[in-house]
């Protein structure tokens, strides 16, 4: 998967950046891109930030596509790092599925360190992002392709996904995209499929699972409470005239 910058008047591609060349893990990162201005290495930059399914958080100059940062935001072992000169990941062979019938372990899983659930950022603090993550790994066993059948899933691999650590499958974290440091995080036993929200009143929140809301306040990880959406919705309706 690639990020394209296009001239809206002509449709011309200005630049393109590919996150996972020869993708062997199904990290087709359709995740959102966030436009934010920040200072990097003493220089003001107009940037685009992208937390990819492959476990890396990318910061690029949105005017010319220059790669400025590529930091791991979840446990990621399929690549050692991203080469900042070439922009390509430095893959780890033992975590790269190639041989049919061979079993390969890799983190994150094919579902990604983050998928469609969006991150959030406070424009007054542009290097710190609030990220709902899925913290799981996988074992991938490629299969020989025999035939395809209309209406069936086209995978040709046996994939087993499991929590990175027992009892922790998701997190909500404050992550600095310039330093690559996690400033705080709140673990959850379930994958975190809910998007993040930041308000001007200094609240940070996410739906940590299908039925849980985790509001946060201030710059620190101070969890204010967990409430059932069903109960909250019921309470709201009861107060409605």
Q: Is 26 a catalytic residue?
A: yes
The C-alpha angle 115, 165, 225, rounded to 5 degrees, equals: 70
Per the residue annotation, which of 23, 26, 61, 122 is the catalytic one? 26
Instruction: Tell me, letter by letter, the H, E, C secondary structure of the chain.
Output: CEEEEECCCCCCEEEEEECCCCCCCCCCCCCCCEEEEEEECCEEEEEEEEECCCCEEEEEECCCCCEEEEEECCCCCCEEEECCCCCCEEECHHHCCCCCCCCEEECCCCCCCCCCCCCEECCCCCCEEEEEEECEEEEEEECCCCCCCCCCCCCCEEEEEEECECCECEEEEEEECCCCCEEEEEEECCCCCCCEEECCCCEEEEEEECCEEEEEECCCCEECCCEEHHHHHHHHHHHCC
Residues labelled catalytic: 26
């Amino acid at each position: 998967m690639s990020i394209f910058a296009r001239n809206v008047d002509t449709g011309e591609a200005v630049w393109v950046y590919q996150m996972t060349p020869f993708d062997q893990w199904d990290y087709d990162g359709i995740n959102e891109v966030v436009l934010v201005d920040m200072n990097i290495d003493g220089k003001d930059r107009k940037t685009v930030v992208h937390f990819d399914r492959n476990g890396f958080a990318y910061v690029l100059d949105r005017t010319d596509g220059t790669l400025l940062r590529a930091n791991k935001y979840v446990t990621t072992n399929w690549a050692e790092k991203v080469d900042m000169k070439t922009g390509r990941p430095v893959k780890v062979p033992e975590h790269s599925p190639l041989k049919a019938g061979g079993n390969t372990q890799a983190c994150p899983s094919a579902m990604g360190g983050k998928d469609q659930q969006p991150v959030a950022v406070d424009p007054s603090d542009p290097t710190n992002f609030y990220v709902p993550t899925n913290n799981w790994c996988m074992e991938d066993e490629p299969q020989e392709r025999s035939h395809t059948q209309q209406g069936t899933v086209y995978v040709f691999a046996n994939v087993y996904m499991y929590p990175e650590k027992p009892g922790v499958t998701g997190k909500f974290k404050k992550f600095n995209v310039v330093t690559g440091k996690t400033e705080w995080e709140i673990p959850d036993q379930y994958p975190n499929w809910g998007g993040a929200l930041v308000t001007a009143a200094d609240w940070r929140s996410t739906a940590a699972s299908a039925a849980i809301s985790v509001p946060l306040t201030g710059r620190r990880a101070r969890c204010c409470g967990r409430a059932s959406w069903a109960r909250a919705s019921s309470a709201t309706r009861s107060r409605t005239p």
